[in-house]
Amino acid sequence: MDRMLVVVFDTEPKAYEGKKALMQLEGEGSIVVYAYAVVGRNADGSTVVRQSDDPGPLGTLVGTSLGALIGLLGGPVGAAIGAAAGVAVGGTIDIDNARVGEDFVDDVKQQLQPNKFAVAAEIQEDWTTPVDTRMEAIGGKVMRRALSEVKQTIDDEDVAAMKADMAQMKAEQAKANADRKAKLNEKINQLDSKIQAQLEKSKQQRKAAEAQAKAKVEVLKAKAATLKAKAIQTHN
């Protein structure tokens, strides 16, 4: 199952230790790590990325669910990434892009207090014990949430509702006097702008989700090929 994982530590060195443990778990075949970042919370509440896997299998953090989560944790759009990453968290930051519930974001914020650090990662895991055991042993507070599917049905329903409203306004406009026609025309134009914006947002979300899904498939293929090569070497 694909999940968002956040492990909070009291110090930055411990967070790097947690990152190392995460990569060891991947090396052991317990999990698959799609993307990760070591993040810290500043005294003003902003979030800074100390280290990430950029350029990793999903490219930069920009446009990923992990990047969106980091933005929601307090990193303003364009928040500086540490020298090891060399990129910025950008793009549209909203809860749909993060693909986790607002309650999860709030829980992480409560744990990731100023001057604390965390390992945040998008992973695939079949069971939770390996990560929990390893992280808790080094003092980590583990939080995870299954990644939701990209919301499409509700967006489609919103657009359909706005189109119905616009059709009603146009019907009224045909029968209205000049003054009323002008007012209705203004409302129709405003509603049309909202519809176009929603359609564009949905289009961009679908494209981002498709790109991430494709990248994840390539990651899994590469790891499978590596395991196969190791198995052949072992037998030889």
Q: 37 and 120 in one domain? A: yes
- My answer on whether 138 and 29 are in the same domain is yes
Residue with tokens 């507070």: 141
**Are 140 and 222 contained in the same domain?**
no
Which amino acid type is present at position 124? Q
User: Domain span at residue 92?
Assistant: 2-148
Residues 57 and 82 in one domain: yes
Contact 144, 128 (CB under 8 A): yes
- 96 to each of 63, 90, 160, how far by Cα in Å? 12, 15, 19
Q: Are residues 83 and 49 in the same domain?
A: yes
- The identity of residue 153, as a single letter, is T
What string of DSSP letters covers 170-218?
A: HHHHHHS-HHHHHHHHHHHHHHHHHHHHHHHHHHHHHHHHHHHHHHHHH
Same domain for 174 and 139: no
One domain, residues 117 and 181: no
Per-residue pLDDT of the chain (236 residues; tens, 9 = 90+): 888 999 999 999 999 999 999 999 998 889 988 888 899 888 877 788 887 664 444 345 555 788 888 888 874 433 433 333 333 333 345 666 777 878 888 899 999 998 899 999 988 898 889 999 999 999 999 999 888 755 555 567 678 888 888 898 899 888 888 888 888 888 899 889 988 888 887 787 777 777 777 777 777 787 778 777 877 877 76
Count of domains in the chain?
Answer: 2
> Is residue 6 domain-shared with residue 65, that is, in the same domain?
yes
Note whether 125 and 232 are same-domain residues: no
Output the CA torsion sign for 45, 116, 109, 87: positive
Mark whether 190 and 97 lie in a shared domain. Answer: no
